[in-house]
């Protein structure tokens, strides 16, 4: 199996109705997908600007989804539209309408027939929500094959919005890929990207369309994790079950020591083993996996001999650690 490849296309130069931010959007997406947060290689990028012919654009897309890669990704920023009669969507090459039309059904068929294990399509174009929509009149490909995810900037009957000359969808997409949508372990998945964009938008804002048929999400990019995996692996040893509470006392607080004269200290004094555990617990609290019980802060939970417990998200990572998936 080959690695990860991505075709990134941005078109500004149209025969009529030129655009001004799509090439810049494509450059930004290519830049962030090329490397992970630590600088290691991520996707092998094929960046194309101002593709003139729809036949050439289709050939590029076929090349992207050809072979047997682990992952194949298509990003397109440019004009799109929808046929009033059939309701089928299309994107436009630089030739414009109607000569430059490339049907979204054709692209979907190419992706569905691909041998790539993971296939991702990201569209920042008007009416892009048509892709994969069930029940479109005359549509030949309304279902997503297993392993395919589509994230479109807008619904099938909407024009994709811009802000300051750039696509609103792509601007949020790039922020998500740079780490805004990363999970605790630093993985940015399509589901995380959608959730990030959805939270960033207000109730009146245009929302993207998310369609997927996967058993598990591909990681589009890896950034530095919020805590080392080695810390997450200690969850089952700190909490014997996901619902267990860990009893605390003043020996967990490192400043509760006779060496500290700036504040009141109480017995039992800080011990090395407990303060090392407490340091880990505070890290886990900082990323929302642990919370104090009966106290506002972990410091007071320790000094008042209370306890701490896993949050709902913490329980999820406990199970991953307990089954050796971290």
Q: Point out the residues of the chain with pLDDT beneath 70.
A: 1-2, 134-142, 261-262
**What CATH number labels 2-222?**
3.40.50.1460
Q: Tens digit of pLDDT for each residue in 94-116?
A: 999 999 999 999 999 999 999 99
The model's pTM: 0.87
The per-residue pLDDT for 264 is: 77
Q: Domain coordinates of the chain in residue numbers? A: 2-222, 229-322
Q: Helix/strand/coil (H, E, C) string of 155-181?
A: CCCCCCCEECCEEHHHHHHHHHHHHHC
The per-residue pLDDT for 136 is: 46
The per-residue pLDDT for 311 is: 97
Structure token digits, residue 195? 């959730």
The per-residue pLDDT for 273 is: 96
The per-residue pLDDT for 162 is: 87
The per-residue pLDDT for 152 is: 97
The per-residue pLDDT for 258 is: 84
The per-residue pLDDT for 261 is: 67
Cα separation, 76 vs 83, whole angstroms:
19
First-to-last C-alpha distance (Å) of the chain: 24
The per-residue pLDDT for 137 is: 37
């Amino acid at each position: 199996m080959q690695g990860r490849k991505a075709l990134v296309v941005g078109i500004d130069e149209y025969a009529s109705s030129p655009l001004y931010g799509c090439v810049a959007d494509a450059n930004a997406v290519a830049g962030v997908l090329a490397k992970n947060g630590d600088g290691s290689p991520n996707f092998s990028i094929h960046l194309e600007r101002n593709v003139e012919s729809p036949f050439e654009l289709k050939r590029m897309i076929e090349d992207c989804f050809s072979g047997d890669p682990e992952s194949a990704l298509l990003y397109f920023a440019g004009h799109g539209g929808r046929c009033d009669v059939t309701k089928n969507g299309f994107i436009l090459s630089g030739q414009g309408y109607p000569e430059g039309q490339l049907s979204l059904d054709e692209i979907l068929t190419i992706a569905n027939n691909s041998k790539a294990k993971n296939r991702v399509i990201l569209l920042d174009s008007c009416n892009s929500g048509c892709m994969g929509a069930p029940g479109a009149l005359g549509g030949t490909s309304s279902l997503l094959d297993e392993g395919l995810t589509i994230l479109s900037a807008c619904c099938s009957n909407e024009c994709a919005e811009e802000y300051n000359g750039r696509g609103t969808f792509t601007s949020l997409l790039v922020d998500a890929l740079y780490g805004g949508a990363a999970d605790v372990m630093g993985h940015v998945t399509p589901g995380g990207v959608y959730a990030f964009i959805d939270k960033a938008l207000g109730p009146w804002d245009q929302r993207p369309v998310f369609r997927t048929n996967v058993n598990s999400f591909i990681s589009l990019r890896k950034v530095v994790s919020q805590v080392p995996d080695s810390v997450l692996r200690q969850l089952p040893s700190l909490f014997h079950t996901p619902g267990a509470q860990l009893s605390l006392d003043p020996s967990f607080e490192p400043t509760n020591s006779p060496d500290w004269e700036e504040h009141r200290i109480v017995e039992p004094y800080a011990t090395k083993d407990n303060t090392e555990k407490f340091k880990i617990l505070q890290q886990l609290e900082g990323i929302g996996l642990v919370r104090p019980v009966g106290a506002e802060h972990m410091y007071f939970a320790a000094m008042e001999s209370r306890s701490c417990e896993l949050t709902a998200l913490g329980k999820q990572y406990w199970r991953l650690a307990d089954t050796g998936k971290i």
